[in-house]
Amino acid sequence: APRVLSGIQPTADSFHLGNYLGALRQWVSLQDTHETFYCVVDLHAITVEHDPELLRRRTRVSAAQLIAMGVDPGRATLFVQSHVPEHAELAWVLGCLTGFGEASRMTQFKDKSSKQGTSATSVGLFTYPVLQAADILLYTPEPGTAVLRVPVGEDQRQHLELTRTLAQRFNHRFGETFVAPEAHIPEGAAKITDLQEPDAKMSKSASSPQGIIDVLEEPGPMRKKIMRAVTDTGSEVVYDEEKKAGVTNLLRIYSALDGTPVPDLEAKYAGSGYGQFKKDLAEVVLGTFTPIRERTAALLDDPAELDRILEKGAERAGAVAARTMETVRERVGFVGRG
């Protein structure tokens, strides 16, 4: 089966609805058709200032949420990035193949560093895309035999392009080693916007608490937030991205979670106003997230078992990564350790 590699940063106490509909739900369905590697990228999470205890907790909470959502550690290789030291090792090698100017053109770095100022910006944030390239290329299939697909949102396209460039450059200099990965735009992935600012994307770092639907949110606050979501002038529940961005976002969420096509929802709520629509939407969201919240809590109740699952994942990922690194060391010209 073709391989898939994807990662998510443990940078919040909960994933949100945008992460779920835009990425994580596809992680689950890709398990049926692909050999999947899913990784909680804690090395990436320290490229900005962080709190050590918070990072440790969020890494476990992230892994627990992924399992609770349906990532099956029996089928998928689920692991923590720092457990496989080859990620950092390959990043060093690839960093030596990356031009300074080339790295300077990465727009995510420009955005994040301009918000922080140069003295607060770390070299790690600058080389973030190189580490991401290493994350991906470590799981390269045998050249010529298969493809490596990487589910990415629009924001990560430039980094994937750099990964392809580095794979080709390495191959050109040192011999055919890496298969250039392909972007995988998941079917049915929806872009979800902020509940309070329907023109901006729902985001862990940029959205206000009122704008985000967290997967682990309690039912009471969840219902309130959805009832208070910004809607538009008029009272009809109709899909119109330009004139009714708020209602349109809610319709998209409802349809994506419940499977009812948008026109059927418009017909169902014709004449009943926003209130009933939002009430029902809250129940649909809770129907999806309540079991995930409960399973996450149960998994976190037994951290030793969770750590064992992650250890097994790291063993499987580590075996693949070690093989790739062995080839890389040999090709680059390092003396073998005997």
User: Binding residues for ligand ATP, per CB under 6 A?
Assistant: 8-9, 11, 18-19, 21-23, 153, 155, 191-192, 201-206
Q: Which member of 110, 191, 204, 244 is catalytic?
A: 204
On whether 19 is known to bind a ligand per the annotation, the reply is yes
Whole-number Å distance between alpha carbons of 31 and 27? 7
**DSSP string covering 128-182, please?**
HHHHHHHHHHTTPPPTTT--EEEE--GGGHHHHHHHHHHHHHHHHHH-S--PPPE
Three-state DSSP at 292 gives helix
Catalytic annotation on 204? yes
Is there a binding annotation on residue 171? no
In the complex with ligand ATP, the residue whose CB is nearer, 54 or 332, is 54
Q: For the chain, how many residues are written?
A: 338
In the complex, the smallest distance separating the C-beta of residue 38 from ligand ATP, rounded to whole angstroms, is 12
| 243 assigned to active site | no
Nearer to ligand ATP by Cβ, of 71 and 97: the residue is 71
Angle at which helix 303-332 crosses helix 86-95, to 10 degrees, equals: 40
Of 107 and 272, nearer to ligand ATP (C-beta) is: 107
Name the residue type at position 260.
Answer: T
Residue 260 annotated as part of some ligand binding site: no
Q: Is 9 part of any known ligand binding site? A: yes
Task: Point out the catalytic residue in the list 110, 115, 191, 201.
Answer: 201
Distance CA(152)–CA(109), nearest Å, equals 17
Choice between 7 and 73, CB closer to ligand ATP: 7
11 is in an annotated binding site: yes
Residue whose beta carbon is closest to ligand ATP: 22
Residue 46 has what DSSP assignment? T
* Residue spans of alpha helices (H) in the chain: 17-19, 25-30, 42-45, 52-69, 86-95, 100-104, 107-116, 123-137, 157-174, 219-227, 245-258, 262-268, 273-300, 303-332
Annotated binding site: 9-11, 18-19, 135, 153-155, 192, 201-205
Which sequence positions are flagged as catalytic?
Answer: 112, 201, 204
